[in-house]
Every structure is written in structure tokens, then in C-alpha cells.
Amino acid sequence: MSEFYTALDHLALLPAILLGLFGCAIFLFDFWLFPKASDKGKLTWFVIAAEGFTAVALWRQFAYLQENGLPALVAFRGMLSIDGFTLFFNAMFLVAALLTALISYRYLEQEGEHQGEYYALILLAQCGMFFMAASTELVSLFVGLELMALSFYVLVGFLGRDRRSNEAAMKYFILGSFSSAFLAYGFSLLYGLSGSTRMADIGALLETRPLTDPLLLLAVGSTVVGVLFKLGVAPFHMWVPDIYEGAPTPVTAYLSVASKAAAVAMLLRLFEGPLAGSREMWEPLLATAAVLTITVGNLGALSQSSVKRMLAYSAVAHAGYMLLGLVAGNETGIKGVVLYAFIYTFMNLGAFLVLIGLHRKGIRGENLDDLAGLMRHNGFASIAMLVFLVSLAGIPPTAGFLAKYYIFLALLESGHYYLAVIGVLYVAVAIYYYFRVIRSMFFEEPAVAPRFRMGRGLGFAFATAVAATIGIGIFAEPFVRIAGMTLLR
Amino acid sequence: MDSLLSLVLLTPLMGMLVLLCLPSANQQAIRLAANIVGLVGFLVSLPLAFRFDANAAGYQFVENIDWIPFLGARYHLGLDGISLLLVMLTTLTGFLAILSSWNAVTDRIKSYYAMLLLLQTGMIGVFLSLDFFLFYVFWEIVLVPMYFLIGVWGGPRKLYAAIKFFLYTLTGSVLMLIAMLVLYFQYHQEFGVYSFGIQELLRISLPAATQQWVFWLLFVGFAIKVPMFPFHTWLPDAHTEAPTAGSVILAAVLLKMGAYGFIRFSLPLLPDAANTALIVQVVVTLSLVGILYGALVSLVQKDWKKLVAYSSVSHLGFCTLGIFSLNPNGLAGSIIQQVNHGISTGMLFLIVGVIYERRHTRDIAEYGGLAHVMPRFATVFAFAMLSSAGLPMLNGFVGEFTILQGAFERNPLWAALGVIGIVLGAAYLLWLFQRTMLGQVTNRKNLGLADLSLREMAIFAPLIVWALWIGIYPKPYFDVLKQPVSQIVERVRPGVYPVPSGVRSVEAATR
């Protein structure tokens, strides 16, 4: 250990190192250890091991903070900050990555695309997310974002023989690069203005400049556009439905929860950090974007016949609700955003599980009709799906209600009454499309009996997601408290 | 701590869990188990009525434990005279609804009874909660089983009716959520702690302007549920398409949740708003329009069940008229009328269910002269019809009379218009009876219909007894209501009415 890499730096970086090493190890040894496609399923154990080690590393960080009573462990001279916020988001990424690995192997086998690289990319994407949550400096933040995004470009196009998947990957790559360019431009202007890439320095400098400064406006504006793009917020949401639909379903699930949570983490790091001082400038922008997002997402979802596409539009709407929490901006709001992202991980991942279970070779199983009569065929899966959809709609006593509850409370506390009323009214709209799925599962008679296959991995993921969705809703106390510990200020 | 209320609340839920563990193949066992749970649910609620002390102020059998301390939400249950009557109504009609489904439902009966029992817990929870958050949770829980009851076991247009019911009610309740959060936040500002407790929220002092718009938010939520005039369009669809048990519960209990909301939340929490001339005028006008409109539309219905459904709009108009008369008579009459409506309209829906089970049509023109074929049935129907029309010595009269008395005190015109509603009510009910029961049997298909079986008689018997009891000797009901009603009136219009001895103000009673 040297001056440039102290023991503390090592402790802070350990989860990322582990994820990177395990990811690269899969790349290197996969074809050698598991040459046959039928053996690739064993790689899930490898991922489980990787996540296990990462969990231990995160736990050690947490223990270190607790022992020393520190709010944050700052490493690499202010490049990384391991605090409650980082740890909470990383726990979320960990759960999402683990569940994604567990639900993927059968899907990939059926598609005949079972490659070891898939698991490596999941781990590398998670490594990128680690930096998105932990960075307090623009360059490492950007590199983390790119690592995640590049992994996802490949994952989305993983079904090489499927035209939809290829198209989605191409679109995602072009639009994603475009948005990264915006972000890089914004970051470079911020650097030019302040002479530092550290968020703390930028924040200090921005406070000395008037809000009417056109250069500042340009810098903040491009940054906002870049971040909103990643989050899939209107008017930059166009990529979401196509890419969600085209990607392999487990990847869609991973993309919709983990990548979104990472984008939220980045959003909060930036807007509650250096940009907090220029709130007056961006708050109306974000408020407008949030209302637009909720509108576009909900109205778009109404007419979809593909459940996967419907969930994509609903993901847009949910991004809008999370944004509303940031617009409210008080403690409740930020806590609400974090809690929302956490709860969303389970309920949205859960909703995709049903689609994965219905998937078979040559049959996508993602249309409303494919779910018809599922109740008679597989009661557990239908009731689980019911729980997820009710939670996504925000009906108590499920966790989704708690998530929305905090957002609305925050809006009222901060005096954004109209936003709160608009937000709740769209809940009623959302009910309509979520309940179309329920109607299909429970009320309609299928033309062909749906065939649902529940493997071990899928079963475990189902059980976890249901338990979390109901459990957080009823025994909310510990989760709310943990979310409260993540506040950045 | 007394845990009687938890017992009443959780018995159906526990029963549901037991029911879910039974094998689906054994239908008789499931039916029997569900009926036993229903009966036990009713029996455990009886001690509430016996042990209730009508002279005690405030809530009784209170249970109050922490639930989500971080939010300030508590598991806080309690019972006063108003909720006592509605809880008893719920447990009884819930049981009878289960009993009435013995032959009517043959498809997926395990899920069917599970939904009914879950619904039961939700409804009881609404009436027992003394915590706004808990209330909201139960309020929403009710929607889901009802949605399934209509959507799976309903009539031909069930899917449309189910989602319409859900969307309407949910739209209202999310607005109610906003109102709830405003009160919650205001309490935090004034007292520095978070609380959803109804008794705690009474202490906040909202500015009059805020009270008014909070009132309107709550109003939309409750008015949709009642339903009041422009928000009523979900009701005919839901009622008509729901299976018999669903219609009975909808009419008897679910609609009361809205009226209960007005009494429990809108009036005491927003007294200044509730007493504003504009608000009273709007709400009363909508009530009167509902009374007349509902009755007129009932007159022209060709569908037996739809007629009963529209009559609910009219009857519930009386309930809201009584509430917003804002005097002891109006309020007490309104609550008694809610119970009455549960009994009479519940019976009318059961009657439609009985005939539908036999003939599978609800078209009034298909029937005629049934009194010759089914004398017992015709007698029960006559009884239910007269009780609904408000014949003296039967329950409907007591409620309507007291409401009109209350309305007259405020404005004779209101009472005059209400009386027209009663006349129209008698007209459509008598005409319905005449068309279906009297005369010669015109349709040969009706000749071989079986009269009421013993089980069916057993369903109607308790309701008939209850209707007679309220009609002949309503004093116990007024006694039970005296305390809570005068507390609410005193809070909304302090000093206008003499407070009867032994009644303490809401604030004092809750200390």
C-alpha cells in the first residue's frame, strides 16, 4: 500500500475490484471450464459466489463506518465516497444482478444463446453501477456510467439471431452514446467553469455565480438532458419501449430496475450535490419533465397489447414519480426517491418474471393473450403477478403504495399541491392498464392453455420478490429507517 | 387490553386462510367451511352489541398499538354508536351473503368464498379504524376482492363493470389520500409529531380556505363511494353485473363506507368547511337531485336488478341529505337510514338473486303473477318492498321520517322535495311488485318455479326480524347514536343545539 493506494482506498474499492475480477474471470475461463452449452447453467453458481464476496465487501464497509461512527468513507482524495447512500444503492444492484442471473439460464438455453459472457457482462454492468452510486467526482462517475452502458448495449443485443434484439441494441447504442455525449459536454463545461472535477469544488464555485449566467445555464442544461436521457424521462423517453421490448426479457428486467436505480443514484449525487445551489434553475424544468413523463408513460401504456411494452411505458411513468420526489427536494422527498427505487426493484423485476416463465422456444409469451387463463394453470404465478401489479399501481397494503405515499407527502410538504394532485390522478389511469393484465390472467379463457415453467432459479426469484413486495408494505418501519440513513446531507 | 375488535376484524381473514388450505376438489367442505366462518364472524360480533355502553362518551373497546412508528401510523381500533350499527350490519349481511351463494355459485368456489371473506375483513376494518392511514388501507383493500367478485362471477358485461367500479372508486380515494396527507402534515407542523389518529387530527386548526379545498378532495372520494348524483354511474353497472352476494354487500355495506366517511372525517375534521353555506347548498342540492333522479330512473327500468340499483341512488340521497342537514335529527336519521337501506335493499337484491337462480333472466316483462306460484317468495318480497318504500311500523319509515324532520328544521323546501322522492319510491316499488307478482301467470315458463327453500327462508328471516325491530321499537338505536351524533353536531355548529346531559364535547371525550 502506498500513498496513492492506502488500505482505506482498498476497502472502498473492494466491491468494484471483486466484480471486475469475477467478470473478467468468466470471460477468460468460461470456454475452458464449461465448454458445453448445457454446462453453462453452472455459471450461475459462479455469479452467486461473486455476489457473495461482494456482499461481504460491502458489509465490511458498512461495519467500518459503524465502528468509527463516520458518515462516509472518502477514498482516493475525494473521488469515491462510501456512505449510507452508496451502500444502499449497491445492495439494490446486488439483489437485482443476482436475481437476473438466476432467472436467465433457462431463457438463454431456450434461445440457444447460452454464453458465459452474459454473466460476465451482468457483473461488469454492476461494477459500473458501483461507481455511479459512489463517485463524488465527474470523471469516475462518467467512466462508471459508460462501463454500465457498454455492458448493456451488448446484453440488449445478446440474441444475435433475433432481429428485434439487434435492432434494440443498435438503437440503444446510438441513443445512449448521444446522451453520453450530452453528459460529457455538460461535465466539461462544469469543469471549465470551476477548474475541478470534484463535485464539492464545483458546488462551491457554482454558488458564487449568478443563476442567469448563460454558460452555467448551458452546463446545467446539458447535464440535465444527459441524466434525464439515462433515466428515460420524457421528452427523452423514446428509446425505452423499443429497447425494453427488443432485449431478452431477463435483460429488460435488469435494465429496468438496476440501470434505472443507478441513474437515480447519479441524479441524486449530482442534483443534491453540486447542483443543489442552482435549484431555482432546474426545479421548474424537472417539474415539467416529471409531469410530462407521467403523462406520456401512462397514456402510452394504455394502448399496448404487449405486456413487455406496457411495462416499458409504465417504467417511464415510474421514472416520473421518482423525479417528483427530487422536485419536492425536502428530506421526505429524497428519502422517498431512494425508497421508491428500492421497492421498484422488487415489484418490477417480479412483473417480468411471469413473462420469463411463459417464454418458450419460438414463443415470446409476452402478449396480453399469452397470459389469458393463467390463473387456472398456475395459481401461484398469477397471484404473485397480481401482487406485483397491484404494487406497481400503488394500492395498499403493498410496498408500491408506500413508495408513492412518500412522494406525495413530500410534494405536499414542499407546497407542490398541483403536482401531487396530478400525480395521484394518474394512479387511476395506471390502474386501467395494470388491471388489463389481471383481467387477462384471471377472467379470460385462453385460446391455447398457457404453459408456465417454474424452474428453481425462477421460483426463488418469485418468492423473494413477492416476500419483499408484501413485506415492505406491511412491515415498513425498518426499510423507511434505512432509507432515512441514506440522506446525503 | 380488550382485543374483541381484533377478533371481529380478523375472524374472516383467518377463516379465509383456513379455507385456502382446503382441497379445491371437495366443494361441499369448502361451502360448509365458508358458511361456518361467516356464522362465527357474526357470532363474535354479537358481544359488541351486548357490551356496548350507550351512555359512555368516546370510543369503546379501544385497541391502540404502534404499527409504523416512522409514519406515526397506528393500529388503532375503536367503536362508537355509529360504527357499532354499521359493523353489526356488515357481519350480518356478510354472513347472509355467504349463505345465499350455496347454489348460486359453482365455479371456482374456493376463490369465491376467499374473496367474500377478505372483503368482509376490509369492510369491518373501515368502520373500526381510528387511524386515517389504517382506514385508507382497509378502504383500498375492499376494492380488490370486489373487483374480482364482479369480474369473475358477474353477469355478461362483468369486465366493463368491474374495471369501471375500480377506476371510479380509486380515483376518489387517491384524492382522499391527498386530503389525508394535508391533514397529517398540518398536524406535524402544529405539534411537531406525525400522527394519523382521528382524535389527534381533531386538534389541528386549518385555515378556512384550506379546509374548503381539502373538503372537496375528501368529498370526491366519499361521494363516489356513496354514490352521489353526478358520480353514480358506476353503481348501476356494478350492481347489475355483480353476483347476488356481491350486489348485496355492495348495497348493504360498501355504499355506507362513503356516508360513514362524511360523518367520521369530513364533518368533525373540517367543521368550518362543512358549515359553509356554499358547501351545504351544493351537497344538499346534489342529494336532492340524486333522490329524484334515482327514483325517476328507477321508474323506467326494464331490468329488475337495475331498478333496485337505481333505487339505491335515491335512498343514499336521503342519507347525504340527512348528514348535511347538520342537526341531530338529520344525522341520526341518516345513520339509521343507512342500516335500513342495508336491510331493505339487501333483501331486494337477494330476492332478485332467488328468482335469477331459477329463471336466469332479470327482465321484468318475463314475470307476472308469481304470487300464485311462489306465495312465500311473494310475501317476503312484499315485506322488503314495503320496508324499502318506508311504510310506518317498518324500518324505512323511521329513517326517512327522521331525516325529513332534520331537513325541515334547516329548510322546509328540502323536506318537500324529499317527500316527492318518497312518493316516487313507493310508486316504482309498488309498480314493480304489481308487474312481477300480481295478476295471472302470463309466462308459461314461470309455472313450475319452486318456492323459497328452508335455506332461503333462513336468509331472509333475520333481516325481516331486524326490519320489524327498527320499525316498531327504534329507541335503542337512537340511544346508541345520541352520544356520537351530538358530539359531531356540537363540533360543526357549536352551541346551536343543546347538548344532552351526559354528552361531552369531542375534544373532552378524547382526552
DSSP string, A366-402: -BGGGGTTHHHH-HHHHHHHHHHHHHHHT-TTSHHHH
CB-based contact B68 A480, cutoff 8 Å: yes
Mean of the pLDDT values across residues A189-209?
A: 87
CB-based contact B163 A397, cutoff 8 Å: no
Residue B511's pLDDT band, with cuts at 50, 70 and 90, is very low
Q: Which residues of A touch B68 (CB under 8 A)?
A: 476-477, 480
- Spatial contact of A315 and A345, defined as CB atoms under 8 Å apart: no
What count of other Cβ atoms lies within 10 Å of the Cβ of residue B157? 13
The distance of A450 to chain B (nearest Cα, Å) reads 18
Predicted local confidence at residue A488, as pLDDT:
61
B296-319: b or e for each residue (b if 16 or more CB lie within 10 Å)? ebbbebebbbbbbbbbbbbbbbbb
- Spatial contact of B359 and B368, defined as CB atoms under 8 Å apart: no
* pLDDT of B149 over the 50 cut: yes
Residue A103 CA to residue A119 CA, distance in Å, equals 12
The distance of A368 to chain B (nearest Cα, Å) reads 15
* pLDDT of A262 over the 80 cut: yes
Residue B462 CA to residue A219 CA, distance in Å, equals 75
Residue A161 CA to residue A184 CA, distance in Å, equals 33
CB-based contact A412 B137, cutoff 8 Å: no
| B440 SS3 class | coil
Mean of the pLDDT values across residues B466-472?
A: 91
The distance of A268 to chain B (nearest Cα, Å) reads 23
Is A409 touching B (CB cutoff 8 A)?
A: yes
Predicted local confidence at residue B340, as pLDDT:
92
Peptide bond connecting A214 to the previous residue in cis, omega within 30 degrees of 0: no
Beta-sheet pairing, B73-79 with B60-68: antiparallel
CB-based contact A476 B151, cutoff 8 Å: no
CB-based contact A428 B167, cutoff 8 Å: yes
Beta-bridge partners for A306: A367
CB-based contact A397 B171, cutoff 8 Å: no
- Spatial contact of B333 and B400, defined as CB atoms under 8 Å apart: yes
Q: Cell 309455472 identifies what position? A: B447
The distance of B231 to chain A (nearest Cα, Å) reads 15
What count of other Cβ atoms lies within 10 Å of the Cβ of residue B434? 11
Predicted local confidence at residue B20, as pLDDT:
87
Pick from A185-194, A478-487, B193-202, B333-342: least confident: A478-487
CA angle B20, B107, A390 (to 5 degrees): 55
Of B158, B174, B184, the CB nearest to A425: B174
Q: Which residues of B touch A418 (CB under 8 A)?
A: none
A148-165: b or e for each residue (b if 16 or more CB lie within 10 Å)? bbbbbbbbbbbbeebeeb
Backbone φ/ψ region at B360: left (φ over 0), alpha (ψ -120 to 50), beta = left
Predicted local confidence at residue A122, as pLDDT:
94
CB-based contact A431 B167, cutoff 8 Å: yes
C-alpha cell at B459: 336468509
Q: Which residues of B touch A439 (CB under 8 A)?
A: 151, 159, 162-163
Q: Using the 8-state DSSP alphabet, how is residue B155 labeled?
A: -
CB-based contact B166 A420, cutoff 8 Å: no
A277-306: b or e for each residue (b if 16 or more CB lie within 10 Å)? bbbebbbeebbebbbbbbbbbbebbeebeb
Measured torsion, CA atoms of residues B335, B340, B342, B347, in degrees rounded to the nearest 10: 180
- Spatial contact of B49 and B88, defined as CB atoms under 8 Å apart: yes
Task: Give the rounded distance of the alpha carbon of B234 from its chain centre.
Answer: 16
Q: Which residue of B has its CA nearest to A376?
A: B108
Helix A84-111 with A43-68: angle, nearest 10 deg:
180
Residue B363 CA to residue B247 CA, distance in Å, equals 17
Distances (CA, A) of B37 to A319, A352, B108, B127, B251: 44, 37, 18, 20, 22
Q: Which residues of A touch B158 (CB under 8 A)?
A: 443
Task: Give the rounded distance of the alpha carbon of B414 from its chain centre.
Answer: 23
Residue B177 CA to residue B181 CA, distance in Å, equals 6
CB-based contact B181 A420, cutoff 8 Å: yes
C-alpha cell at B270: 373540517
* pLDDT of A332 over the 60 cut: yes
Residue A140's pLDDT band, with cuts at 50, 70 and 90, is very high
Please write the tens of the pLDDT for every residue from B249-283: 999 999 999 999 999 999 999 988 888 889 999 99
Predicted local confidence at residue B109, as pLDDT:
87
Phi, psi of B128 (to 5 degrees): -95, -20
Predicted local confidence at residue B503, as pLDDT:
57
Computed over every residue of chain B, the mean pLDDT equals 89
C-alpha cell at A104: 436467465
- Which of the two residues, A300 and B24, has the higher pLDDT score? A300
The distance of A278 to chain B (nearest Cα, Å) reads 27
Of A421, A435, A442, the CB nearest to B166: A435
Of B70, B141, B177, the CB nearest to A481: B70
pTM of the model: 0.85
Is A476 touching B (CB cutoff 8 A)?
A: yes
The distance of A7 to chain B (nearest Cα, Å) reads 38
CB-based contact B184 A408, cutoff 8 Å: no
- Spatial contact of A54 and A19, defined as CB atoms under 8 Å apart: yes
The distance of B115 to chain A (nearest Cα, Å) reads 13
CB-based contact B140 A409, cutoff 8 Å: no
Is A85 touching B (CB cutoff 8 A)?
A: no
B-contacting residues of A 298-317, CB under 8 Å? none
C-alpha cell at B503: 354528552
The alpha-helical segments, DSSP class H, found in A195-256 are 199-208, 214-231, 239-246, 249-254
CB-based contact B71 A480, cutoff 8 Å: yes
Please write the tens of the pLDDT for every residue from B493-502: 887 777 766 5
Residue B1 CA to residue B61 CA, distance in Å, equals 8
C-alpha cell at B341: 337501506
* pLDDT of B376 over the 60 cut: yes
Residue A214 CA to residue B228 CA, distance in Å, equals 55
Task: Give the rounded distance of the alpha carbon of A129 from its chain centre.
Answer: 9
Smallest Cα–Cα separation from A415: which of A335, A328, A336, A333?
A328
C-alpha cell at A404: 408513492
CB-based contact B70 A408, cutoff 8 Å: no
C-alpha cell at B487: 358530539
Please write the tens of the pLDDT for every residue from B391-402: 888 888 999 999
B-contacting residues of A 367-406, CB under 8 Å? 390, 395-397, 401, 405
Is A421 touching B (CB cutoff 8 A)?
A: yes
Highest average pLDDT, of A90-99, A159-168, A449-458, A471-480, comes from: A90-99
Longest dimension (CA), chain B: 73
The distance of B273 to chain A (nearest Cα, Å) reads 19
CA angle A258, A264, A270 (to 5 degrees): 140
CB-based contact A431 B152, cutoff 8 Å: no
CB-based contact A443 B152, cutoff 8 Å: yes
Pick from A247-261, A368-382, A461-475, B161-175: least confident: A368-382
Q: Which residues of A touch B121 (CB under 8 A)?
A: none
Predicted local confidence at residue A160, as pLDDT:
83
Computed over every residue of chain A, the mean pLDDT equals 89
Question: Which of A302, A385, A431 best tests the B interface by mutation, with the highest count of B CBs <10 A?
Answer: A431
Residue A116: partners with Cβ closer than 8 Å, 6 or more residues away: A26, A27, A30, A31, A34, A40, A43
Question: Do you know the residue count of chain B?
Answer: 511
Q: Which residues of B touch A432 (CB under 8 A)?
A: 163, 167
The distance of A395 to chain B (nearest Cα, Å) reads 7
* pLDDT of B508 over the 60 cut: no
- Spatial contact of B434 and B350, defined as CB atoms under 8 Å apart: no
Domain ranges of chain A: 7-485
Question: Which of A401, A438, A480 best tests the B interface by mutation, with the highest count of B CBs <10 A?
Answer: A438
Highest average pLDDT, of A169-173, A419-423, B24-28, comes from: A169-173
The distance of A285 to chain B (nearest Cα, Å) reads 24
Residue type, B248: V
Is A466 touching B (CB cutoff 8 A)?
A: no
The distance of A446 to chain B (nearest Cα, Å) reads 14
The distance of A473 to chain B (nearest Cα, Å) reads 10
Is A432 touching B (CB cutoff 8 A)?
A: yes
Mean of the pLDDT values across residues B62-70?
A: 85
Q: Which residues of B touch A482 (CB under 8 A)?
A: none
Q: Which residue of B has its CA nearest to A397?
A: B137
What count of other Cβ atoms lies within 10 Å of the Cβ of residue B352? 24
Predicted local confidence at residue B59, as pLDDT:
87
Mean of the pLDDT values across residues B197-203?
A: 88
CB-based contact B163 A432, cutoff 8 Å: yes
- Spatial contact of B87 and B124, defined as CB atoms under 8 Å apart: yes
Q: Residue B353: enclosing H or E segment and its boundaries? A: helix B328-359
The distance of A327 to chain B (nearest Cα, Å) reads 17
Question: Which of A424, A472, A474, A479 best tests the B interface by mutation, with the highest count of B CBs <10 A?
Answer: A424
Question: Which of A302, A339, A413 best tests the B interface by mutation, with the highest count of B CBs <10 A?
Answer: A413
Is A413 touching B (CB cutoff 8 A)?
A: yes
Dihedral sign computed on CA atoms, order A328, A332, A335, A336:
negative
